Structure 1
Amino acid sequence: MPYSLSGVGHNGFEKADLHIHTKCSDGIFTPAEIVEKAALVGLKAISITDHDSVLGIDKAKPLASEKGIELIPGVEMSSTYKGNDIHILGYFFDYQHSELKEYLDHCRHLRTERAERMVSKLAKMGVKIGIEQIIVKAQNGSVGRPHIAAVLQDVGYVKSFSEAFSKYLGSHSPAYVKSIETHPADVIKLINKASGLSFLAHPAQNVSDETLKQLITFGLDGIEIVHPSHDAYRQNYYREIANEYFLLFSGGSDFHGMRERDEDIFGKVTIPCEWVAKMKSRLLHA
């Protein structure tokens, strides 16, 4: 099992999941449904980290409070470095911060434009779907590739979410269009301005060691250690790098609810609440 290092769920550790998506970006559950699910699996703290959106936070707040679950303000922000998509997770920031909100609104506009360009590329390949169908799928949230994948599946062009990515939408596939091209240093600076902490998301997926070292110099506060794409070796590896640079640890299930195996990982790919306490401590002493 690749999750053996999450170190929680045994010996009475309290568990947290700081990487969850909702309908406000490309998840299939509402923020309130996520809180319900978190309560069922015994999570003590969660962060809703929708792509370039903080709309789910206020929607989840009342129920999280009622269920006694700590809701940490979160977001997963897109950036590009040397031609690669880099995702930065923000935590504990002021999500009403005017500059941050303005930037995230701009990102949502860019995401819709990106989807339009993908639809046009698909059309040239004879795969005809409409941008309206995708926007309906996104339910006014941040438009992403999973919404396009869901429409491709609905219309019958692909049989599964993974086929949509391998055939059309993955980063090396013909209909792919690059994500938001903001420099990661600017994203980190913005999270910092809003009094939050910045973490590199799922480094094993697409971040070389050289890029990781460079990102650390931009002022990252931490690294996502626990993620479904990180086996025990990777978790240890990134933990050592984080320790070497005095960085914080984070992690979570990256739950969307639509992918194969998603339901198996919710409540299982978690981190100890002790890591959350260390984040708060860093903020207090900043």
Structure 2
Amino acid sequence: MPYSLTGVGHNGFEKADLHIHTKCSDGLYTPEEIVEKAAAAGLKAISITDHDSVSGIDKAKPLALAKGIELVPGVEMSSTYKGYDIHVLGYFFDYQQSELKEYLDHCRHLRTERAERMVSKLAKMGVKIGIEQIIVKAQNGSVGRPHIAAVLQDGGYVKSFSEAFSKYLGSHSPAYVKSIETHPADVIRLINEASGLSFLAHPAQNVPDETLKQLITFGLDGIEIVHPSHDTYKQNYYREIANEYFMLFSGGSDYHGLKERDEDLFGKVTIPCQWVEKMKSRLVKS
């Protein structure tokens, strides 16, 4: 098997992590702190892929340049297809493009509305928290369920993030509200029209094979092969599918910094920088 869980095997490849979250969505660290961590971990390329937000890119750029780390413009965009939450990773796009920026602003409003509906459901269950507390946790960034979980923990309603999700916020839990219901084909189009590349995030988590094949027909450029939820078997399985459809590979730690296990993953669940170079070669479009 050519690659281990780290995606770098034993051949000394330079390492990249193209799936990292910051405080601009639901991560613990600022974009600048992530660059510092990446430098300490010896990463040569990273992508900040905040949920429906690109505000971390410009914040990270000067320090990444100073540290000699390639910063790939990135985002993780939410969509829904046949009842499944589908996450699409975008890379190398023009993050200043007006249509994309307008859409991401719209998503930010939708995320806040979703949080308000969850707060309302929680209140009916006797769990009293305020939307203002959640927005403060998000630091005016892209609001997500981890921010609600943090407020629940602060209020003593749960002891951990995992309890918050299993008891209240998970997809089969009583306070859950569906995510952004944009069709994945529209998300892929937005990324493509901003001159970027689209990848299906962590397919093993939530995408049945039949659905994956349908998503490929919408114009995906690649699949996230390396992810903490993908063991070696899954990595090889998705690599075969990507090869069958002449798709690109991506991957990373999906680091948020919120769970104890996250620190074990950062700098270790990586991909070879050669994969990043292959992405760049695909960008030269006629």
- For the aligned pair, the TM-score class normalised by the smaller chain equals over 0.9
Provide the secondary structure at the position in 1 that maps to 2:90: strand
Asked whether the 8 Å contact 1:6–1:272 carries over to 2, the reply is: no
Letter in 2 for 1:231: D
Provide the secondary structure at the position in 2 that maps to 1:176: coil
**Pairing of 1:168-207 with structure 2 (within 5 A):** 168-207=168-207
Name the counterpart of 1:129. 129
Name the counterpart of 1:42. 42
Q: CA shift at 1:33, angstroms?
A: 0.1
Matched, 1:30 2:30: yes
CA–CA distance in structure 2, aligned partners of residues 142 and 284 of structure 1: 32
Name the counterpart of 1:57. 57
Name the counterpart of 1:248. 248
CA–CA distance in structure 2, aligned partners of residues 168 and 56 of structure 1: 29
Provide the secondary structure at the position in 1 that maps to 2:59: helix
Q: If the length of structure 1 is used for normalisation, what is the TM-score? A: 0.98
Letter in 2 for 1:281: S
Unaligned runs of 5+ in 1: none
Percent identity between the two aligned chains: 90
Name the counterpart of 1:222. 222
Q: CA shift at 1:243, angstroms?
A: 0.4
CA–CA distance in structure 1, aligned partners of residues 148 and 208 of structure 2: 28
Q: How many residues align?
A: 284
Give the superposed CA RMSD. Answer: 1.0
CA–CA distance in structure 1, aligned partners of residues 198 and 84 of structure 2: 18
Name the counterpart of 1:79. 79
Name the counterpart of 1:100. 100
Q: CA shift at 1:146, angstroms?
A: 0.2
Q: If the length of structure 2 is used for normalisation, what is the TM-score? A: 0.98
Asked whether the 8 Å contact 2:5–2:269 carries over to 1, the reply is: no
CA–CA distance in structure 1, aligned partners of residues 172 and 230 of structure 2: 21
Q: CA shift at 1:216, angstroms?
A: 0.2
Letter in 2 for 1:96: Q
Asked whether the 8 Å contact 2:223–2:250 carries over to 1, the reply is: yes
**Pairing of 1:115-154 with structure 2 (within 5 A):** 115-154=115-154
CA–CA distance in structure 1, aligned partners of residues 96 and 267 of structure 2: 29
Q: CA shift at 1:275, angstroms?
A: 0.3
CA–CA distance in structure 1, aligned partners of residues 11 and 248 of structure 2: 23
Provide the secondary structure at the position in 2 that maps to 1:254: coil
